[in-house]
Amino acid sequence: MRRWLLGVVCAALAAAAPIAVRTATPQAADRLDAMIVDGDIGRSGGTLVVAARAEPKTFNPIAALDIPSRDVIWRMQADLIHINRETQRAEPALARSWTVSPDGLHFVLSLRRGVRFSDGHPFDADDVVFSFSAYLDERLHAAQRDLLLVGGKPIAVRKIDAMTIGVDLPGPYAAAERLFDSIAILPRHRLEATWKAGTLGDAWGLGTAPAEIAGLGPFRLERFRPGEDIVLARNANYWKQDRAHTPLPYLAQLTFAVVPSEDAQVVRLRAGELDVLNRVSSQHAATLDRDQASAPYVLRDLGPGLEYHFLFFNQNDPVPAAVRGKQAWFGDERFRRAISLAIDRASLVRLAYNGRGTPIWGHVTPGNRLWANTAIPRPPASASAALALLTQAGFKRGADGTLADAHGTAVAFSILVAAGNAALNDMAAIIQDDLRKIGITVQIAALDFSAVLSRVLESHDYDACLLRLVDGDADPTPEMNVWLSNGPTHLWHPLQARPATDWEAEIDTLMRQQMTTLDAAARRRLFDRVQAIAADKLPLVPLVSPNIIVAAKRTLGNFRPAVLDHYTLWNVEQLFWRAPEGRR
């Protein structure tokens, strides 16, 4: 579970690619080796007000587990190698360049010279070594620690000289560059004492004075008013510049206004009190879209993101007695294929998402431009084809239209769904109606989300479940826990001692191979095969990938939202107000 939630923030990408950034040549040892970024040249000044669903719980990158905290923290921190959310590829950040040994086990990273923390203290290799030591410290239980393990063993980070770092991997890891994304480099001069005292996990809480918090990101903390807002001010020491060598960021202030409900966020956007909404639901998009021509904001539908919604059946062993009788159906791949054929995905998109979604037949969405297998078949919904398949599998329809298995047991099951998610509940009602047409009775059980997870991952007391996963990353590796048969989030049958089926064993092998294969084309073939097996055996029946919809003031320059999180603020240092007057 933690792996996929983490993935939301810790997105990264393996494939090395042409890098769309340039680095200024350093003239002197202490002169800033700035990173030059492409984009419109903007004007400095102004405040951007962004909606936050909740206030952060901490400003400490090591302790932050929740998205509101990370949203704020990542405007104040920076990493060595970063995944460009627009190109989905790795690019230099605090590391201006790097080399990799032929066996892929050893990295040497050259750090950017002349960089200073927001408090003015110089940045060097000691900060990097300190940061990785802290993240890998088992006492701190940092969420990032899992990401820094390869084959269960931690990576080793050593200082070569003041501006050079060596990184040794315990085993081959195809997506090695991506390990560095979202690992914030911490100021040793401020945090080393607390680390030694064993209190680093408690540092930089909400009550910490802003002057005590330092980072290498585009902004620094200026003020936090509980329940109201978090105000960040421009970091004058930031290390990125525009094409005209103007220091970034352009904005003087970035404010996160705490507005818990999406209804209220939309109202405040329309009233001009908010400048950016990082996610707009399809229902709200319909409303905002209607007024768009006359309104000062622009609504952007980015198409499918990396989120996918799917139905899956309980294939655990053992299961509670009530489920046991149905497992012969759930374990039969023809049954799962028939269910997939009977579901009208076009209706799911039209009714549950107002048309702002994409029907999917494979678990890697079209939003993942680098990895989606486009050869996966997309059979249209067909009740008759579904019934033909069920007949092959020994099911029969009675005189009253009810479907029964070979033993004469009527086919009926429940679908578990999180009560608070309107789109998922609508989807469940549509699926219920589609399956009624082939004689299957479905009951919808809407429970609290934590109860849903508990039944799926712990008690295994459910028949089928409608759920969504959010890939925070285009790369396949962060989903290892979902696809490996011994993974804790191998949803339909987690933590298997040995693979229950041949195809799960094959997926295990392929996923492990892709993780260690350094050749990009070979790796692609391996993951294509994983996608093909998953689409054929349907342990998860993929249904819909909802579109990523965002909104912002029309006069916001360089607003280039992306389908990787953070959708709107990933290039916050480049955002600027086109209007000359005042804030906007």
Query: What angle in degrees, to the nearest 10, is found between the helix axes of 422-436 and 333-342?
Result: 110
- DSSP 8-state code for residue 405: -
In the chain, what are the helix, strand and coil shares in percent, each to the nearest 5?
A: 30, 25, 45
CB of 278 to another protein, least distance (A): 17
CB of 495 to another protein, least distance (A): 22
CB of 566 to another protein, least distance (A): 24
Structure tokens at 448: 């609290």
216/269 with CB nearer another protein: 269
Answer whether 287's CB lies under 8 Å from 266's CB: yes
Q: Which amino acid is at 186?
A: L
Answer whether 227's CB lies under 8 Å from 258's CB: yes
347/555 with CB nearer another protein: 347
CB of 407 to another protein, least distance (A): 18
What residue spans of 122-260 are helical by DSSP H?
A: 125-136, 188-196
Determine the Cα–Cα distance for residues 508 and 444; give it in Å rounded to an integer.
32
323/376 with CB nearer another protein: 323
CB of 63 to another protein, least distance (A): 33
- In this structure, the dihedral spanned by the alpha carbons of residues 460, 462, 466 and 470, taken in order and rounded to 10 degrees, is -10
Burial 224-249 (b: 16+ CB within 10 A, else e): beeeebbbbbbbebbbbbbeeeebbb
- DSSP 8-state code for residue 462: -
Answer whether 31's CB lies under 8 Å from 105's CB: no
Answer whether 21's CB lies under 8 Å from 92's CB: yes
CB of 416 to another protein, least distance (A): 6
Between strands 35-37 and 21-23, the pairing is antiparallel
CB of 100 to another protein, least distance (A): 50
Answer whether 317's CB lies under 8 Å from 493's CB: yes
Full DSSP string of 489-537: T-TTS-S-SS-SSHHHHHHHHHHHHHHH---HHHHHHHHHHHHHHHHHH
Answer whether 229's CB lies under 8 Å from 255's CB: yes
CB of 346 to another protein, least distance (A): 9
32/423 with CB nearer another protein: 423
CB of 290 to another protein, least distance (A): 8
133/425 with CB nearer another protein: 425
34/274 with CB nearer another protein: 274
329/577 with CB nearer another protein: 329
355/366 with CB nearer another protein: 355
Determine the Cα–Cα distance for residues 275 and 114; give it in Å rounded to an integer.
34
* Residues engaged in binding another protein (CB under 8 A): 263, 266, 283-284, 286-287, 322, 344, 347, 350-352, 401, 412-414, 416, 419, 422, 425-426, 428-430, 432-433, 443-447, 451, 461-463
461/506 with CB nearer another protein: 461
CB of 451 to another protein, least distance (A): 7
233/342 with CB nearer another protein: 342
CB of 415 to another protein, least distance (A): 9
252/447 with CB nearer another protein: 447
Residue 482 neighbours by CB under 8 Å, 6+ apart: 3, 4, 469, 489, 490, 491
